[in-house]
Structure formats: C-alpha cells, structure tokens
Amino acid sequence: MRDRGGVGVVQMTWCGHSTVWIEDSGTRLLTDPLLRDRLAHLRRRRGPIPHLPSAPDAVLVSHLHADHLDFASLRRLPEHTALVVPAGAARLVRRALGAAAAGRCTELAIGDRITVGGLAVAAVPAAHHAGRGLWSRHRAPALGYLIEGRARTWFAGDTGLFDEMADLRPLDLALIPVGGWGPTLGPGHLDPTGAAEAVRRAAATWAVPIHFGTFWPVGCDRIRPDRFFRPGDDFARQVETVSPGTRVRVLQPGESFTVRRP
C-alpha cells in the first residue's frame, strides 16, 4: 500500500528487531539500537545492517536485555548522542562505556517526562523482566515510551499485557512487539494475539509490528520459516477481528512508513 494524501505527522523506519528510527516535529529518535549483524548466538537473518540517515537527537532504551541495550551498537553512534534509559541503568552504562557516556544518560522512572527537541517523551509501564541476564546483578524496571509531538506514538519496548495500556489512548501510532528471536516466548512478551489486544486497549489508529523476523539463533534454521516470518502477518489478521479501528502496516526490516493526517 502506498501513502497517499494528507500531511505526514510522524515518519518511522523499522531497522529490524526493536530498533526504530522515528522523526516527528524535526526531532529524530532511535529506539533500542541493535546495529550489527550478530549478537552472541543470534544472527541477523533478514534485512540489512541499519544505516542511519543522520545522527539521532536521542536514543530511547527500553530495558537492560542485551538485544535492547547493546553497547557495541551504542559505540557506533556519535559521542554526543543523548541516552534515555530506565532508572538504575546509568551505572551499567558507565561500567560498559565509561563515565562520559553515563554523563549523557537521563534516567526515567514510570511517569517521568522529558523534552527532546520538539518532542515530549514520557516513560510508561512495560510488563517485562527488569534484569540484564542470568549472570548480572544489574536491574532496572523495563519501560515503554510515549512520544508526543505532532503525533502520539507509543514505543512499547518489550512487554506483556498490562491494564495501564488503556491510559495511553488515543494513539496515532503503536510500535508493538509481536514475537521474539527464538522458537518460544517466555513471560513478559506479546505474541500476535496479545499484541492485537494491546493496540485495542490503547486505541491505536495505526500499528506497526516489531520485535520479530530479524534475528534467529544459530542452528535453528529448520524451525525458522513459520516462527520467524509469520508473527507480523498473524498480528495483522488478529487486529482485523479484535481492533477493527486500527490499521496495520507490516514492514520489512529497512522499510519506512509515514502516518498522515488530512
């Protein structure tokens, strides 16, 4: 489908996984940057390594898991790039990137708001594990972000369903996770059915599925086709039934979409 008519209020590019380039009101944001082709046992299986059009004004990090807070990717960004992270995460950033990087961090707790350029960015809940991983003591509550400029955009991060999703309504755009990077999903994740319910609760006009179909574990190729490619299209079908007022745009990694108003 081609974008036709109207004035663009927010333009986004899905770079794969949870990495999204967002432009609104002359301000550029980048979410959960994962800008390389391999992370531990995960390999990028679809889409190019992201090439950013310019330097972002700020990076929004949803939580501490390595596929969302990837220090090798953060090192590829300009040294002045502002980092917005969950409350408690700056200590981990300092340990990995040095004191100068930690000085660029703004920690947000749920309900906190900051201004980035022409945008208001608010930290909203996410139902997801707070830790870095099995071998790390670092913890910081997972967040989503509500971005308000010419449009209201929700970057959900990584989350399960939670009641406060209804408090986000109405939205112009929901960037919603619909899968993962492996053949199974643990607690604190949305599958296509749960994601459709999430955009219904949040009254999203448009929804773009993310967090699927990009990285896959080495050695799991035989079970890739269904579990890897289908979540986006399955989400679109679920939304037709559960939230008929929401329009879905399923992108390939590297593709862009503009939300327009008359």
Residue 261 domain-assigned (yes or no)? no
212 falls in which pLDDT band (50, 70, 90)?
A: very high
What amino acid occupies position 67?
D
What percent of the chain lies above the pLDDT cut of 90?
A: 80
The predicted model gives 218-246 an average pLDDT of 87
Residue 1 domain-assigned (yes or no)? no
DSSP for residue 49: P
- State which residues form the domain around 205: 7-250
How many CB atoms lie under 10 A from the CB of residue 170?
A: 10
Q: What average pLDDT is seen over the chain?
A: 92
Say how far apart CA 244 and CA 251 lie, in whole Å.
19
State both tokens at 214.
Answer: 């990009």
Q: What is this structure's pTM? A: 0.94
Question: Number of folded domains in the chain?
Answer: 1
Please identify which residue in the block is written with the tokens 């053949």.
Answer: 183
CB 54 within 8 A of CB 66: no
State both tokens at 50.
Answer: 């992201």
Q: What are phi and psi of 235, to 5 degrees?
A: -60, -45
Residue 113 domain-assigned (yes or no)? yes
Residue 258 domain-assigned (yes or no)? no
Closest C-alpha among 47, 67, 39, 41 to residue 219: 41
Helix (H) or strand (E) holding 27: strand 27-31
pLDDT at 224: 63
pLDDT at residue 11 tops 70: yes
pLDDT at 5: 65
Residue 260 domain-assigned (yes or no)? no
Say how far apart CA 174 and CA 204 lie, in whole Å.
6
Q: What would the DSSP string read from start to end of 166-215?
A: GGG-SEEEEEEE---SSS---TT---HHHHHHHHHHTTEEEEEEESSSSE
Residue 257 domain-assigned (yes or no)? no
CATH code, 53: 3.60.15.10
